[in-house]
Amino acid sequence: MIEFKHVSKTFTDNRRHTQTALHDVSFQIDKGELVFLTGHSGAGKSTLLSLIAGLEQPTQGSLLIQGTDISRLPRQALPYLRRHVGVVFQEQKLLADRSLLENVRLPLLVTGHSLTEANTRARAALDKVGLLAREQLKPAALSGGDQQRVAIARALVNRPAILLADEPTANLDRDTAIHVIEVLRDFVRVGVTAIIATHDEFLLSRFPTRILTLAQGRLATDRPGPVASAPLRGHA
């Protein structure tokens, strides 16, 4: 599904100074797998997610998604790739003056779907995250956790094969963070491949899943997560 082969990414600023964000990273993620991506601030987590989303391209190495080396795709093909990748950000980036339904259906309207189909699929996505009954509310009427669920619905409305979440629980309390991860896991159970970037040690220890750890732009460890010793809901 996703394969990094000796991938490096270097950025050059206006003064021609270079900084290596990722160095010789190799790993493979299978279809329907849930993976946590962790590491210190500046370790390269966001850069790695940006590469998978097609927002950046590797400086060296190969990045394969569903067997296609996207590091060699022409730029005009990248928007098509991005339709197959949903992204959830730490900040939800919801439109404050639009309803939940309007926020979620927007990616479909941008890609040419009819209003009828966009509404149908947006309502289905809101239903999956438990917010269909509130479709006409504005984001400000929701809690931070519920706004993040709207962002997840928007990321999944295009039915992507891959879901990327960059620190999606950073501003949430513990119980709400657990619930957001559980919502993401529900989509993994039906075949979506998900990578969640987080530095939250509680979540890393709570959910038994694979963990990739970056350090100074290198892949430091690739290990299965610990087995949870308590029910997933509520405090330990």
* pLDDT over 60 (residue 155): yes
- pLDDT score of 197: 95
- pLDDT score of 118: 97
pLDDT-derived band of residue 68, with 50, 70 and 90 as boundaries?
Answer: confident
- pLDDT score of 230: 40
pLDDT single digits (tens) 103-127: 999 999 998 999 999 999 999 999 9
Q: Tell me the C-alpha distance between 69 and 151, whole Å.
A: 28
- pLDDT score of 228: 44
pLDDT-derived band of residue 227, with 50, 70 and 90 as boundaries?
Answer: low
* pLDDT over 70 (residue 233): no
pLDDT-derived band of residue 234, with 50, 70 and 90 as boundaries?
Answer: very low
Instruction: Assess contact for 231 and 40: CB atoms under 8 A.
Output: no
- pLDDT score of 225: 62
* Domain boundary assignment for the chain: 93-159
Q: Whose CA is closest to 176, among 154, 197, 138, 202?
A: 202
pLDDT single digits (tens) 71-86: 888 877 777 777 789 9
* pLDDT over 80 (residue 54): yes
Q: Whose CA is closest to 168, among 78, 76, 89?
A: 89
End-to-end CA distance of the chain: 34
Instruction: Assess contact for 236 and 230: CB atoms under 8 A.
Output: yes
pLDDT single digits (tens) 129-147: 999 999 999 999 999 899 9
Calculate mean pLDDT across residues 205-221.
94
pLDDT-derived band of residue 62, with 50, 70 and 90 as boundaries?
Answer: very high
* pLDDT over 90 (residue 66): no
- pLDDT score of 141: 96
